[in-house]
Amino acid sequence: MYDLILRGARFEDAVADVAVAGGRIERISPRIQEGGGREIDAGGRLLSPPFIESHVHLDTTLTAGDPRWNESGTLFEGIQIWSERKRSVTREDVISRATELLRWQAAQGVLHVRTHVDVTDPDLTGLKAMLEIREKVRGWTDVQIVAFPQEGILSYPRGTELMEEALRLGADVVGGIPHYEHTREMGAESVRESFRLAEKHDKPIDIHCDETDDPESRFLEVMAAEAIRTGMGQRVTASHTTAFGSYDNAYAFKLMGFLTKAVINFVANPLINITLQGRYDSYPKRRGITRVKELWQNGLNVSLGYDDIMDPWYPLGTGGMLQPAHMAVHACHMTSREEVTACFDMVTENAARTLGLEGYGIAEGGPASFVLVDAPDKWDALRRLATTTLVVRDGEVIAEARPAEHRLMGETVTFQRGTEGLGDFVGQGSGSGERTERG
Ligand code: FE2
């Protein structure tokens, strides 16, 4: 007798039952005869490992409009507003907002979150609160904390010491923001400082790098050079790199060759990049997003993050990871069948590589952590921004949802055209959430 059996879940190319016991996947088979303590009819829905948020700011989330709205919509006004808001940040304030957002994300199947936390604060209030949250939520979501120097490592008073202190207190990852340092020399030196800290404390690196339209912002090459020099490659992540979208092709070509040797990870944040960048352009306006498609075509690991959810930089959002993936499809011209599917992987498998997760995926003997998405495949999940109907963490059902049912003149509208390729998928409005309880 298993603890849980999922009946008729859709894998890449097959429909199968999944049996769970003791928090692990015991068996995956076209038909499991034995029963389970609980049985859930997956109805042919897509089974996926959990979604992963590889770049968000949980210390700033859910503050949009407080103390004021970002009227210019620029990154720099956002930083100014946050500088004002953070004077009133308290431990309780951060815990309340960040926990709420993690609940929104877990409810949608996001069970691993890498959050940057501003450490340019002499009291490190946000960081200390986030360390508490990381422990408090450990039973249902995994949080990685990046020590993020929002106002610079070298440009902010005692910036390096605050980074050191954050790492000593328990931050998981070393951050950076070279394009915000006062001069380009200080920017390059701050990248080297991040690597020094990472080597000293044996931590991975995730730097906000070249988050600007300025084609002269070239700190990515410094990161790549340091990654090669230190041999830290896969433990290094360059977030944003939006200036890469503005480099001329001659430099971009040289850089791409260099990057394939450095083998670092990239995180793009399509919702925020296309919103914050291009603000100083008239027309034509740049998309302000890194070369996601070309990085992916060159075999580099790219994942996608939200970045901001209802804060001074971005007023919208729910935390569901299909939204940034959906924006990537558009903003990065990734509309072929294969490219759309790749964008789904950028908020699952690729993000697991960025975060350095071990044991991620769906396999017999592996952890029983997975989600059901109300779609027959990854492509359709993105087309319809499908609902995550079931979230299982270490064998426990922690979230369930029913997809919206649309009825037109008494008939259900499923937003599915024909049934080709859909197999057993039942679509919206039938079979959703149906299950039998046994034992
Ligand atoms: Fe960010």
Q: 30 and 97 share a domain?
A: no
Copy the structure tokens of residue 277.
Answer: 């960048």
Q: 89 and 176 share a domain?
A: yes
> Structure pTM?
0.95
CA 278 to ligand 1 centroid distance, Å: 17
CA 115 to ligand 1 centroid distance, Å: 9
Residue 21 carries which DSSP code? E
Task: Please give the pLDDT value at position 423.
Answer: 55
Q: 406 and 281 share a domain?
A: no
* Contact present, 100 and 309 (Cβ < 8 Å): no
Q: 149 and 20 share a domain?
A: no
Domain boundary among 338, 355, 372: 355
Q: Which residues of 287-315 are buried (b: 16+ CB within 10 A; e: fewer)?
A: bbbbbbbebbeeebbbbbbbbbbbbbbbe
Q: 252 and 344 share a domain?
A: yes
CATH code at position 11: 2.30.40.10
Task: Please give the pLDDT value at position 1.
Answer: 87
Domain boundary among 355, 380, 409: 355
Place of tokens 């106002």: 151
* Contact present, 37 and 2 (Cβ < 8 Å): yes
* Contact present, 109 and 145 (Cβ < 8 Å): no
Q: How many domains does the chain have?
A: 2
Q: 253 and 271 share a domain?
A: yes
Query: For 41-76, how does the pLDDT look when each residue is reduced to its tens digit (9 = 90+)?
Result: 999 999 999 999 999 999 999 999 999 999 999 888
CA 265 to ligand 1 centroid distance, Å: 15
Query: For 100-113, how does the pLDDT look when each residue is reduced to its tens digit (9 = 90+)?
Result: 999 999 999 999 99
Where are the alpha helices (H) located in 244-384, listed in sequence order? 249-262, 270-276, 292-297, 322-331, 337-345, 349-355, 378-383
Domain boundary among 291, 324, 355: 355
CA 427 to ligand 1 centroid distance, Å: 36
Write out the H or E segment, with its range, that includes residue 234. none
Q: 382 and 268 share a domain?
A: no
Query: For 112-148, how does the pLDDT look when each residue is reduced to its tens digit (9 = 90+)?
Result: 999 999 999 999 999 999 999 999 999 999 999 999 9
Q: 107 and 176 share a domain?
A: yes
Q: 10 and 118 share a domain?
A: no
The contacts of residue 283 (CB under 8 Å, 6+ apart) are none
CA 119 to ligand 1 centroid distance, Å: 13
Q: 223 and 335 share a domain?
A: yes
Q: Which domain holds residue 433?
A: 2-49+362-438
CA 208 to ligand 1 centroid distance, Å: 6
Q: 91 and 240 share a domain?
A: yes
CATH code at position 239: 3.20.20.140
| pLDDT-above-90 percentage for the chain | 92
Q: 16 and 81 share a domain?
A: no
Write out the H or E segment, with its range, that includes residue 85. helix 75-85
The mean-pLDDT minimum among 272-276, 350-354, 416-420 falls in 416-420
Write out the H or E segment, with its range, that includes residue 186. helix 184-201
Per-residue pLDDT for 434 more than 50? no
- The whole-angstrom separation of Cα 239 and Cα 144 is 15
Strand-strand pairing, 2-10 and 36-41: parallel
Per-residue pLDDT for 438 more than 50? no
- Which sequence positions are flagged as catalytic? 211
CA 107 to ligand 1 centroid distance, Å: 23
